[in-house]
Structure 1
């Protein structure tokens, strides 16, 4: 009987899935510390994109979100009403609207990150240093791989 070779991801993927489940549970238990209130998760996602791409236009934002223009507009309306973003016309194409975070929006993202880091630090403090370093390296590599897989379709489209 021929046995298929075992690959590392066959063992690692289920463990990562378990960690994600634990994070979801921790998220629910620690909603105050880990949540994005007063914003929804979708609004916060928009803010992360705008932070990475200051001056992004609404069309590009819609592509990032895989969302239709009316949905993107509503999300931005709510963020603008909260004082977290501002809109302005593109300097060369007045029909194109660009968005960027306000100082309040940037401060809100800093606060979310600060609260999440505090919770994570308390958990990491219970791990040996070598395990913390290995986790950091593994997460960096996973993030890089996820970024590459997300960019692959874009590279094919523009090629």
Structure 2
């Protein structure tokens, strides 16, 4: 049994190394198509806030800070900038007048949809070079990875995405 655990740990390490290599490849790909997949006018920190709000709209600044791992003043400044862009709105909580709830606006949703579309387009040619069985395996592996990451907590969970069948066709 100890041998099975050791083998399982080694497989996990191998998978983690492979995932790190994929992350490095994605970073290179983003760099090559920087103009097409740029997050401008939003910083990476602001993008994390948008993703968090997409998953849990109506959360407070305090909860948002816990989710993104930032202090309340930092989160407040990030939200100020996002509100100025028209991507989020703040409302007084019906349960406590001292607390604000945060919501994505239609503009914020369109921004995220557009960013995802541009990123998917950048990945499509590479994924298109894969065999159908490799695309299916990739889709299944990424779904399993996403489920495992989602089990780690709300900061890593993603909303349901549109159908990925076009990747495995």
1:113 maps to 2:116: yes
TM alignment of 1:41-120, pairs within 5 A? 41-120=44-123
- What 5-or-longer segments of structure 2 have no aligned partner? 155-169
**TM value normalised by structure 1:** 0.88
Give the CA deviation at 1:67. Answer: 0.8
**TM value normalised by structure 2:** 0.83
1:10 maps to 2:36: no
Aligned Cα root-mean-square deviation (Å): 1.6
- Give 4+ residue runs of structure 1 displaced > 2 Å after superposition: 3-7
1:138 maps to 2:141: yes
Secondary structure of 1:73's match? Answer: helix
- What 5-or-longer segments of structure 1 have no aligned partner? 152-159
* Aligned length in residues: 149
Give the CA deviation at 1:33. Answer: 1.8
List per-residue Cα deviations over 1:25-65 (Å, max 9, x = no partner): 11122112222111101101101111111111111100001
Give the CA deviation at 1:144. Answer: 1.1
